[in-house]
Structure 1
Amino acid sequence: MGVDEVLAAARQGVRRLRPHEVVDAAARGALVVDTRTEAHRREQGELPGALVIDRTVLEWRLDPTSPWRIPEATGPDLQVVVVCRHGYSSSLAAASLRAVGLPRATDLEGGVQAWVAAGLPLGEGPADVRP
């Protein structure tokens, strides 16, 4: 199976959110998680209100049963919206979060590029980075 098939499987049956829907979800308590690298965030800007969690530790920080979870990882009913640059790696990350027990995990369709295209603001920081 190639990456296109893996990506399609990760998105199967998942309602991905558009930029304004992410704003609404965050207002209702969803956790917005930015997995972009520092260089990409510096280039594109910071996503207001998002927690920055490195993709390499994402599951450990958000799994509510993990001893390494962040305080915001409150339980399996938590909605998590993962954001990346273009909306590809975020789909894979959201699928991984669903696999560790967060069934409401989804991602931003089109990534930060779609956010900018929708005319939504980006900031310059500082970011809320969670190691």
Structure 2
Amino acid sequence: MTVDDLLAAARAGLTRLSPAEAAGLQAAGGLLVDIRYAALRDRDGTIPGALVVERNELEWRLDPASPHRAAEATDHALRVMVICDEGYASSLAASSLRQLGLRHATDVIGGFRAWRASGLPVDPPERPPAPTAEDTAPAS
């Protein structure tokens, strides 16, 4: 099995959402979970109202039976939409949540990049990204 096979199998069990569909479901009370790592959130900003849970903590924070769950993880019927940067890791994460019994878990097609490109709301980064070597190099 390759990673592409694993991704295809994960997506076969999901009803993936467009960014607009995810925004509508979030407005109706669904839980949008941003699993992007901090450097991406610091660079690109965040989605208003999204719960930020980095990928390595996701199952513990969203399993309603976990003593480490987020307050929002109330039961297995919760409408969870996972979003990553481009929509790949989120498919694998949503599939994992389904294995935990979160039967409505899914993800957002195209991830944060598609969300932002669709003109949906994005809060700017709380702090500007750290300068890169290119930013600090003397002009030639």
Bin of the TM-score, shorter chain as denominator length: over 0.9
Q: Give the superposition deviation at 1:47.
A: 1.1
Q: Give the greater-gyration-radius structure (CA).
A: 2
**Corresponding residue of 1:21:** 21
Distance in 1 (CA, whole Å) between partners of 2:125 and 2:79 is 24
Instruction: Tell me whether 1:81 sits opposite 2:81 in the alignment.
Output: yes
Identity of aligned residues (%): 54
Decide which moves more: 104-113 or 42-51.
42-51
Distance in 1 (CA, whole Å) between partners of 2:34 and 2:84 is 6
In the comparison of the two structures, how many residue pairs are matched?
126
Preserved CA contact (<8 Å) 2:44 2:124: no
Instruction: Tell me whether 1:69 sits opposite 2:75 in the alignment.
Output: no
Instruction: Tell me whether 1:122 sits opposite 2:118 in the alignment.
Output: no
**Corresponding residue of 1:50:** 50
Q: Give the superposition deviation at 1:125.
A: 5.2
**Corresponding residue of 1:129:** none
**Corresponding residue of 1:104:** 104
Preserved CA contact (<8 Å) 2:43 2:125: no
Preserved CA contact (<8 Å) 2:44 2:125: no
Q: Give the superposition deviation at 1:22.
A: 0.9
**Corresponding residue of 2:35:** 35
Deviations 1:41-81 (A, max 9, x none): 12221111101001111001100111111111111110100
Distance in 1 (CA, whole Å) between partners of 2:46 and 2:27 is 18
Distance in 2 (CA, whole Å) between partners of 1:71 and 1:119 is 29
Preserved CA contact (<8 Å) 2:19 2:115: yes
Q: Give the superposition deviation at 1:123.
A: 0.6
Q: Secondary structure at the match of 1:76?
A: coil
Distance in 1 (CA, whole Å) between partners of 2:43 and 2:28 is 29
Q: Secondary structure at the match of 2:52?
A: strand
Q: Secondary structure at the match of 1:48?
A: coil
Distance in 1 (CA, whole Å) between partners of 2:101 and 2:87 is 21
| TM-score normalised according to structure 1 size | 0.92
Q: Stretches of 4+ moved more than 6 A in 1? A: none
Gaps spanning 5+ residues in structure 2: where?
Answer: 127-140
Distance in 1 (CA, whole Å) between partners of 2:122 and 2:79 is 22
